[in-house]
Structure formats: structure tokens, C-alpha cells
A and B are shown apart, each in its own frame.
Chain A
Amino acid sequence: MRTYWWKILGILLLLYSIIMGLLGHVPALPIVHETIRNVYFHVPMWFTMFTLYLISVVYSVKYLSSGRPADDFVAVESVNVGIVFCIFGLLSGMLWANFTWGDPWPNDPKLNGSAIATLMYLAYLVLRNALEEEQKRARISAIYNIFAFPIMIVLMYILPKTTDSLHPGSGGNSGFGQFDLDGSMKAVLYPASLGWILIGTWLMSLRFRIRKLEYQNDSATPETLA
């Protein structure tokens, strides 16, 4: 019997974030006004993407040492779902930026970095489809994935911090924690992030199980025909 508790926990955390995210107290700031509540929904997308890519790297390393196809399946499905959350993050950020920064795509280092990182992970999927042989495909893409992960961290989390960025906490900008004096925003942001991470992992596990079933069906047919 599969355990459902963490799925229910994820749903409850997201319900809390929807209710408290819209009704809770937020600091009054110029320009952003009520849109500061987007923090509860835009930022968790990126946390979820990061967690899924991390799971992918861990399973790529595992595949290289074990050679089990199942490890490779977890790695590729994590990237698949991670890219979906990345696109959600980009779209929600563009929408938000359009009304607060005045442009859906200001040439912000964090935006450009995340765009390059997304292309890098799309290249991972293209690379996989380009290779015919199963073991070769799994091994080469696992190595590519291990190299892509630290570059993604540098592009999205390290380089933007060193230069001037519109994002909070970069360059001379202050992080939002400075305005959140009573911690009421953290009390929503952290549960929301955990909730989205759990839901993202759930989606990944569903896709993984489907892929495993497909693999078992494909490998079973030649034997039944013979």
C-alpha cells in the first residue's frame, strides 16, 4: 500500500497558502502594493524547479553507479516536471514584472540567467531523444545532467547576486525580509514552498510510474511474441 500522507500534507499546505496568502497581513510598499502577495506563488515555482533538478542530479549519479533503468527514469521525469515549473515561474514573473517593473522582460541578469538555464535543460531532453541506444542514452544524458546542474546554480543564483538586479536581495537591493518585520510573510512563504515541492514531487512520481509501466510493456512484448 502506497503512503498518501505527504500528498495530503502538500494539499493542506497549499490550501493554507491560498487562504492566508490572500487574506494575511502584508507590508505596505510603494509600486508593488498588493502584488507583493505574488511572492507566495511566484517564488515557490522556482524552489520546486530547483528541488526537482536536484532530485534529477542525485538520480543521475545513482544511475551511473547502479545502471538501473529506473534511476534514469526518475532523472528524466524530474527534469520534465522541473521545466514545467520553470515555465510557470517565468510566466508568472513576466506578468508581475509587466505591472511593477514596467516591462515583461527587463534585461535583468536573473531573468537572462534563468532563460539560459531553461535552454540548457531543454537541450538535455533533445540530447536524450537524439540517442537511439538505451544504455548509451542514459549514461551520456546522466553525465550531461551532472554538468548542467552547477551551471544552472551559477547562472540563476550566484551571478545575479554579484551584479545589479531588480530582484530583491541582489546587488544593492534589499531582500523582502527587511520589510517583513513580524515574519507574517515567512509564515506563508515557507509552507507554500514546501507544499509546491510536495505537489511537484507527486507529479514527478506519477510520470515516473507511467514511464516504468511503458518500459515494462515494451520489454515484455518480444518475449510474448516469441
Chain B
Amino acid sequence: MKKTILSFLLVISGLMCSFAQSNTGVEMATGLRSSGKIYVVVAVLVVLFLGLTIYLFTIDKRLTRLEKQQKK
């Protein structure tokens, strides 16, 4: 039952996507900045960068713990 509903939704969303494309045409770089889509890219970059820095901090913490063990 679930599978049939899911596949049905998939087909509908696919149809909607295809219709949307044919209706609005191609969105090009002319509208990139004015339409505000660049904010999405900025948000993605911020998320990736923050994730990397949190990862760096965890490495830093583990290293500090090792150094404390060494001193004992």
C-alpha cells in the first residue's frame, strides 16, 4: 500500500517538474542575482564551512586529550 502511494506521488511530482520546465523556460545567469538564488549558494557554503570547522575542533580536542595522557 505504502509503495503504491509513494510511486504515485513520485509520478505526480515528476509530471509537475516536467510541466514547470516547459512553462517557465530556462532560467539563466541573468536572473541569478536578482532572483535571490545566490543566497542558497551562500547558505550551502556556510553550512559546509561550519561543518569542516567543527570537525577541526573535534580533532583539536582529541589531540589535547592525548597530550594530557602523555604527561601523566
Cα A202 to Cα B60 with chains together (Å): 9
Instruction: Give every chain B residue within 8 A of A216 (Cβ-Cβ).
Output: 70
CB of A214, distance to nearest CB on chain B (Å):
11
Taking CB atoms, residues of chain B closer than 8 Å to A217 are 70
Contact of B49 among A2, A15, A209, A210 (CB under 8 A): A15
Q: Shortest distance in angstroms between B61's beta carbon and chain A's nearest beta carbon?
A: 10
B38 A202 Cβ-Cβ under 8 A: no
A1-35 vs B, CB cutoff 8 Å, 1 = contact: the mask equals: 01000010001001100110011000000000000
Contact at A18–B70, with CB atoms within 8 Å? Answer: no
A187 within 8 A of B: no
**Which A residues from 159 to 183 make CB contacts under 8 A with B?**
none
- Chain B residues numbered 34-49 whose CB sits less than 8 Å from any CB in chain A: 38-39, 41-42, 45-46, 49
- Contact B56–A209 (Cβ < 8 Å): no
Binding site for B on A (CB under 8 A): 2, 7, 11, 14-15, 18-19, 22-23, 202-203, 206, 209-210, 213, 216-217
